[in-house]
Amino acid sequence: MELLQKKNIILGCRPKEKDEVIRESGRLLYNSGYVEESYIDGMLEREKTFSTNIGNGIAIPHGVEAAKQNIKTSGLSVMVFPEGTMWDGELMYVVIGIAAVGDEHLSILANIADKLSDMEAVKKLIVSDVDTIYNIFMGKE
């Protein structure tokens, strides 16, 4: 299974409560077969102990270590909020749900950091279409 499926890239998201955004991000992963449904609880648990805001208007919700047993295969979900959505007092424009088997999360996070290292890259992503976002994350651009 591919790390990112086009159906898991959701454009034009409206601002919502952080927990609701995390649930939706996790549901995308669950509905695509990447994780067991209980992984979503692990994503919410992670956020309680450590914010997944990584700067530049990007959040990367993912499960706590114990939730890794609920991952079937590594996968991503991408939600784009053109107006931003509040996340611990800051606006997030891109929320990337992550489920990673073993140490794959390190390479996934490095790839995200590389692709979205500055605000210009994030701004470009916010106005991109599904195919462009898919190509950015899958290294086809």
Residues noted as catalytic: 62
* First and final C-alpha spacing in the chain: 20
Four-point Cα dihedral 125, 127, 129, 135, nearest 10: -20
- The answer to whether the beta carbons of residues 39 and 30 sit under 8 Å apart is yes
CA distances from 105 to 35, 76, 101, 110, 132 (A): 14, 10, 7, 8, 22
- The answer to whether the beta carbons of residues 32 and 72 sit under 8 Å apart is no
Rounded CA separation 93/80 (Å): 6
Using only C-alpha atoms, the chain has a radius of gyration, in whole angstroms, of 13
